[in-house]
Amino acid sequence: MKKVKRFGVSLEEGLLKKLDAFVSGHKFPNRSQAIRFLINNNLVSLAWEHNREVAGCAVLVYDHHKRDLLNRSIDIQHQYQELVLSVQHVHLDHHNCLEIIALKGKARKLKELADKLIGIKGMKHGQLVASGVYSGK
């Protein structure tokens, strides 16, 4: 387990109130956990901005009866097979399917892949959910 270092932080009263509201609203056990979350969230954003090795998932909702949509999706995934870790397909109802595609690679390539999938004609909704890859250092 990594050693925890303690340090003091000075905040204006208004900013401290906002932090406490954030802690409460997100059900963090304490301010320290909220600050860890905010720092890590910022580091993930920076990793995506700087085109680093990252992880994420493409979340797609579509009508599986739409002609050729599934074949287009599979063709695009094959073009980026080095990025695709796994695919989960869920039947939401008679017409609609949810697909969650776990991805890992350079940020720009993941965005490029997700944009192509989301842009398929007939896709009802799509979103790239960004996360980070940490070296543990």
- The pLDDT profile of the chain, 137 residues, written as one tens digit per residue, is 688 899 999 999 999 999 999 999 999 999 999 999 999 999 999 999 999 999 999 999 999 899 899 999 999 999 999 999 999 999 999 999 999 999 999 999 999 999 999 999 999 999 999 998 755 44
For residue range 29-55, list pLDDT tens digits in order.
Answer: 999 999 999 999 999 999 999 999 999
Q: Is residue 41 part of a domain?
A: yes
Residue 69 and residue 91 share a domain: yes
Q: Residue 109: which domain range?
A: 53-132
Q: Global pTM? A: 0.85
Q: Is residue 1 part of a domain?
A: no
Average pLDDT, the chain: 94
Residue 58 and residue 37 share a domain: no
Residue 37 and residue 62 share a domain: no
> Is 96:124 a contact under the CB 8 Å cutoff?
yes
Q: Cα–Cα distance between 91 and 97 in angstroms, integer?
A: 5
Residue 67 and residue 26 share a domain: no
Beta bridge partners of 100: 59, 88
Distances (CA, A) of 45 to 37, 40, 48, 89, 116: 12, 9, 5, 28, 21
Q: How many domains does the chain have?
A: 2
